[in-house]
Amino acid sequence: MPDHLTITNATIACMDASEDGYGLIRDAALRVQGERIDWVGPMADLGDTSAEAQVIDVGGRLVTPGLIDCHTHIVHGGNRAREFEMRLEGASYEEVARAGGGIVSTVTATRGADEDLLLAQALSRADALIAEGVTTIEIKSGYGLDIETELKMLRVARAVGEARPVRVVTSFLGAHAVPKGADADAYIDEVCLPALEAAHAEGLVDAVDAFCEGIAFDTAQIARVFDQAVALGLPVKLHAEQLSNIGGTRLAARYGALSADHVEYADEADARALAEAGSVAVLLPGAFYTLHETQKPPVAAFRAHGVPMAVATDWNPGSSPMGSVLLAMNMACTLFGLTPAEALAGTTHHAAQALGLYDRGEIAPGMRADLAIWDVEEPAELSYRIGVNPLYKRIFGGRA
């Protein structure tokens, strides 16, 4: 396998925060050495490539950074199609959860599945994302709610990254739901905190997440989980302000969170807090769509305060059974009013930031050569079509 790769005759969206939102260079080329981008610029400056081992002429196609899905729950057992039917018959997400469905029903299925089955199912979901040019996937635990199953989920998440050419980033989400019959505070002390410690000791945790909501945990309970994350040196992120505003976003900001996710019910003060903390707002339009929500995230306030916005699938069996980052981008534009440039920044540059990864999500010398090459002329086409996958080629760490 040659160590060098040159891509010629491309339109390149560098996603380097330049004024057009794309950092677009037409008639462009880029050089890769090993796993990293070495050079990017106009074809006119490329020089002679006749002696180069691997030159890919992409015939004017679009090159972007490999896409990053920065919020998923793709390791889980079972499915919740019956709940989909219940909600269509009129039950709300909260009513389904209180009736013993929702997250805790996926917990039962996940506890009952062995690692091989969980891995096989997670790989088929990862493959769907990879087929759309995704090169980095965040995967959460949170359907175990006991020590053994939380660790099992995280081991499976790590195994996805070993079985496929994709970088997996794990988030420990022990504080996702209160198990049936348990007391929330006792659950945090007796299960969640010991599970976090054990998972961290096994090297299974890259970040710590939680669900701050009336049907899950309050800010005081989550603060205890975050305190332990801080003690272990792990960054935090939070499912915040999805169904109501109970102060999750400000809590996340106080802990310098990588991101606050969902944030439909966040307000102006929350946007200011995220900006001051340097946290990313992760928008999850698949959950908004699936749950027939009407409260939209405060995109204008995020823009006004300079809060970076990421976009992700939130792929999970309940609120967002959606296996397409391109569809998430389309929905972020159509439902939340993002521009296509913001949507693409949301699945590249800002998604990388939401994961605390600063070596990807942008095309520039020194960045990882994780690239997606698309059969489109204009970058807005990636958000514009629905149910169409124009991926031409995907490159992971310099390997086509």
Q: Which residues bind ligand NIG (CB under 6 A)?
A: 73, 102-103, 106, 211, 239, 242, 287, 314, 316-320
Residue 108 beta carbon to ligand NIG: minimum distance, rounded to whole angstroms: 12
Nearer to ligand NIG, 246 or 367 (CB): 246
Taking CB under 5 A as the rule, which mask of x and - marks residues 292-331 in contact with Fe ion? ----------------------x-----------------
Determine how β-strand 237-240 pairs with β-strand 259-262: parallel
Q: Which two tokens stand for residue 371?
A: 């690239």
Q: Does the annotation list 265 as a binding residue?
A: no
Residue 93 beta carbon to ligand NIG: minimum distance, rounded to whole angstroms: 7
The answer for 256, left when phi > 0, alpha when psi is -120 to 50, beta otherwise, is: left
Cα–Cα distance for residue pair 294/335, rounded to 1 Å: 10
Contact of residue 317 among Fe ion, ligand NIG, none (CB under 5-8 Å per partner type): ligand NIG
Contact of residue 103 among Fe ion, ligand NIG, none (CB under 5-8 Å per partner type): ligand NIG
Residue 238 beta carbon to ligand NIG: minimum distance, rounded to whole angstroms: 10
Nearer to ligand NIG, 1 or 88 (CB): 88
> Which residue's entry shows tokens 């980033």?
169
Q: Which long-range contacts (CB under 8 A, 24 or more apart) does 26-30 make?
A: 28/63, 30/6, 30/63, 30/363
Contact of residue 320 among Fe ion, ligand NIG, none (CB under 5-8 Å per partner type): ligand NIG
Residue 55 beta carbon to ligand NIG: minimum distance, rounded to whole angstroms: 43
* 217 phi, psi to nearest 5 deg: -125, 150
Cα–Cα distance for residue pair 116/129, rounded to 1 Å: 20
Residue 242 beta carbon to ligand NIG: minimum distance, rounded to whole angstroms: 5
Asked if residue 209 binds Fe ion (CB under 5 A), the reply is no
Asked if residue 150 binds Fe ion (CB under 5 A), the reply is no
The answer for 311, left when phi > 0, alpha when psi is -120 to 50, beta otherwise, is: beta
Sheet of strand 67-69: strand arrangement: 67-69, 134-140, 167-175, 207-210
Binding site for Fe ion (CB under 5 A): 314
